[in-house]
Structure 1
């Protein structure tokens, strides 16, 4: 059938048409041969021009001298460079290579893509040197001098940057990496060294090969003190990569991190895979990959006090890049033992800059969560045994142009959850007498018995209701109704910290402050806050301790000054009174110093009166308490401010020349702290004005 159609088509072509077609094809072939001949004879000159252009660009943009002894074509598409060196100006040489030959694939070159075919390199070296504060690699962290551009040009570049299609940019970046991976490679005698004033490290690769996409290599650290095996399968044409690193049953360690940053890090095996890259609707770029590690061991004082061990972890991730956003898809999964977590992160640049974060777990046995925690990460939770099922969900969203509109929601669903055996954090101990040890500068101060055996311990119902209600108002208005966390406080914390570009507010409840004081050490590690959250959740969700007892313990242990702990010591220290005798003004004052107890005495002048700057605080807190029926109304707005009098022995000496302005000057940042308190309380009482009162 096909042959018959072809014969019919040929029968319709005349002899004249065949001649014209032959002439056109001949002209095309002759033109192609002429173009190839010209390019072939001119290729050396083109190569020289290209090398010169590279040298000029590196010198002008990065102040780097590129020296090449010889550059020539050693094949139709193969370029060979000999005696190559890269040296930043006024620095030690950064890199050098005896000879390198690289071939470029012809057909991709026609479309403008440079893909390496085969790479051969011998005697290559990279040396990173830092002397004092000067290094030969600091150009990597320097921005190009924008002053060399004309204003209009700089403005145009900025406008262009803002209109970049992120998906296309990510695709180009990915291609620039994948296309530089050769199909075949022969690397011999490669050496990487690092040296500064006190540390020296050497990584040598005697041999590394890529043969038909199969990667094999051996890496030696510090003159064969450790040997790593690197293997994998590379198929950059299909955008697929797989690399595995191990040490033949030994640990793969990175001593440079320990010597440089105090970070001990080792693992048995680590694997990474680029599984798939594709477009949907010609608009969204999908990048799928995996990462896995076995017996990861981490030790750093900022992370945890003990070694943190992750026996087996796996990440299956999908990144989606669009025109103006990049996201970690909800289909991504983090697996540690039997724990599965589905994270979601999305960053959008236009029309508004926004951030979205979500976290979700499927319903699972509660014990699987605690079993998945790496050993050494949460010391207080080791040994805990639980039953029942749980499911967790978190969602947060922030608009950079309107941080105060931040959204946050966290929810832990429970089915038959129960603690069968408590770990190191024995929460029920709060129900009876126990010993509390406060710390100063991570050192224990003294042991305090929390219970009737201590004459300074006072039951909750014997503490002035003004004090109880003032502390609740300023620290945690919804303490007796929430489950350990106040989402409005967390939202306020996120908004404040984003606007300040620093960690200014933590959003802690009384439950969280109690756990931090009683159950956690004072080592400021990165995971301590998460450990605090977990213990609070356990304490609140199991009802192991009543709210009244929690508040009673809290008021008997928190700090109120230098070596002043508990409300009995505080009321006696400042006013020479029993806690039951505290007035409204004294209670509001004591509430004001809870966030910064060591500065409590700075609020008084030499006559023992409060300095004027605290008046605004008294008016604001007093009005809230009066509105909620926790204090009598005060039309003057003083709420006991002028009646507060510090014990005479604590008053500062009267200055020889009284500087009224100095005496009335507020302590640093108090106005800012008041505004933070105002922002949180206004939002809480606006959304929920009928908060539960203290008992």
Structure 2
């Protein structure tokens, strides 16, 4: 009988022998394994991607090292994708035996990777196809956590623990828009990263650096990206391709943890950027600058959801907020967004707004505090159940000084100038000094009712925004996959016209929202005064502004004398006043389609109790354009000769009397 110690010793010898045999077996078959992998890669490149993948030589060095020379990947009908002169790497033999590739060390000398587009031909087109393994069919659902963890693990396995790269160039040529990133040196030794990178485009040349630490096996990293030369780092290619000019002083990316437990993938860390500058015509008409921004993130992925956890924090200067974003597919497809801004000083919020994005708020001062909560949920399968709740709580909040947009001016006489297609229009004096200015009590009640019904039925009860309108707008825009419907109130139109421009930029829309909130929720002006200004500034035709000019231009009347039909007409043309002439036929009468819209608007007003049957007694009278606007109607004069021939009866010719001579 063997003793316990003898059994343990014997077991260890057996285990050691098995390991030795396994290592010898792997050592014996490693060349075969390498050849099989290379042959498989070559065949896959040819059959699936229509490319020639070649390696001039490949041989093992030592136990796990592999040397390659002249590696190329060339599409059969396009430019070479990459070529590497020399590459040496070490692989994990156990992982290789199991069919997976894990790099230990990597050395690259002299090579390039290029992406080209000539006309419509892209040399990387074939690689944009989805991998068959990643395509789900039928009711099969993708496990997001497992899928993401598998992809991340594969990518990190290809990142060596020790690396030295010399003269590796990345080239981009998009029909003449070129960018070249030359990695003159990149090293990863003992988890420390050092680089020397030269960047060249059609518009600039810079030298970049990347420094920090990385451990691909532990799935951690802390990397800083900055410019060696004076000035900020510029983003290449995007300035020429998308007219997006952007730069920054430095970026830091930190990955603290990537782990999977209980079916959930956790991804934790932070990212920060300093002096980010962006310029794009769709964002603002000037540079947008964010001095300091940081995102402490926690991503969570499960079998049926992807989310940014609410413990994440976004910081813009002194402003901090907690976002929650989620995409769920357990039953229905759900999109969720929650934003929480904890209690903060109002002045800190104002000074934290990005420069250039909120120009009209520069110089504004405020006292007090506020907090904010947003809750948004969209069910793709049940779109009508959309949730949109926005709640701001104030604590002694008061505006003590206005910035460029002085909202108080709406209460006194001021000069208004519309901007159409970037052209400043003639000045309009809004006040009693202008003979065309019309006080609210001198505007036909019919017109007030018609305009409010068509433009903003709840104007006197809402505080600048209509939540239900926002919901309907969001649903339609999501369905059409474009911005096809807005939710503009009279308050929003007033702010846009009086204080802002008509430019379609993100900056203008964000400023509009904040200014409307300030105007409506700080009792700066009465609703009656706001409506009065609105009636006296809106465009009502070509170079026609305000109801005083409009009533004369169309009907040669004062606003108080307008009939119901005339008011219905004026309310309908507000969205497109410069195209009013297309409402009429060649006889100068309203087209049937226009009459139907008027009847629809009339019925709505009757149902809401704004009109009675008595008000519509004279509605059958036609709308007659008698003012200067009539010259723009395409009226075809009748042929009076033909009309007379139809009216005058034919005369019996007199008999010819002849006399005999």
TM-score scaled by length of structure 2? 0.89
Paired position in structure 1 for 2:649: none
Partner of 1:61, secondary structure, is helix
User: Which residues in structure 2 correspond to 1:338-487 (within 5 Å)?
Assistant: 338-487=318-467
Paired position in structure 2 for 1:309: 289
Distance 1:457 1:217, change over 3 A: same
Q: Structure 1 CA distance, aligned partners of 2:55 and 2:103? A: 20
Q: Structure 2 CA distance, aligned partners of 1:313 and 1:196? A: 32
Distance 1:27 1:417, change over 3 A: closer
Alignment deviations for residues 532-588 of structure 1 (CA, whole Å, 9 cap, x no partner): 101111111221111111111111111222222212222222333221122222222
Alignment deviations for residues 304-360 of structure 1 (CA, whole Å, 9 cap, x no partner): 122211111111111111111111111111112211011111111231111111111
Q: 1:396 Cα deviation (Å)? A: 1.0
Partner of 1:363, secondary structure, is strand
Paired position in structure 1 for 2:108: 121
After alignment, is 348-357 or 593-602 more displaced?
A: 593-602
Q: Residue 159 in 1 paired to residue 138 in 2?
A: yes
Of Structure 1 and Structure 2, the greater helix share is in 1
Alignment deviations for residues 202-261 of structure 1 (CA, whole Å, 9 cap, x no partner): 221221111111111111123994221111111122221111011246421234332333
Whether contact under 8 Å (1:480, 1:547) holds in the other structure is yes
Partner of 1:377, secondary structure, is coil
Q: Structure 2 CA distance, aligned partners of 1:353 and 1:314? A: 30
Structure 1 runs not aligned, ≥5 long: 1-8, 147-152, 658-695
Q: Structure 2 CA distance, aligned partners of 1:656 and 1:231? A: 84
Match of 1:632 among 593, 612, 621: 612
Distance 1:123 1:548, change over 3 A: same
Q: Residue 571 in 1 paired to residue 558 in 2?
A: no
Paired position in structure 1 for 2:650: none
Match of 1:654 among 613, 621, 636: 636
Match of 1:278 among 234, 249, 259: 259
Q: Structure 1 CA distance, aligned partners of 2:473 and 2:167? A: 54
Q: Residue 97 in 1 paired to residue 84 in 2?
A: yes
After alignment, is 34-43 or 54-63 more displaced?
A: 34-43
Whether contact under 8 Å (1:618, 1:639) holds in the other structure is no
Q: Residue 74 in 1 paired to residue 74 in 2?
A: no
Match of 2:120 among 129, 133, 136: 133
Alignment deviations for residues 119-169 of structure 1 (CA, whole Å, 9 cap, x no partner): 11111212233333333234444557x9xxxxxx99x94137x41111111
Q: Structure 2 CA distance, aligned partners of 1:10 and 1:405? A: 75
Paired position in structure 2 for 1:201: 179
Paired position in structure 1 for 2:161: 183
Partner of 2:610, secondary structure, is coil
Match of 1:210 among 175, 179, 188: 188
Distance 1:639 1:81, change over 3 A: farther
**RMSD over aligned Cα atoms:** 2.8
Q: 1:438 Cα deviation (Å)? A: 1.2
Partner of 1:605, secondary structure, is coil
Whether contact under 8 Å (2:588, 2:635) holds in the other structure is no
Whether contact under 8 Å (2:186, 2:196) holds in the other structure is yes
Whether contact under 8 Å (1:604, 1:646) holds in the other structure is no
Structure 2 runs not aligned, ≥5 long: 640-661
TM-score scaled by length of structure 1? 0.85
After alignment, is 221-230 or 260-269 more displaced?
A: 221-230
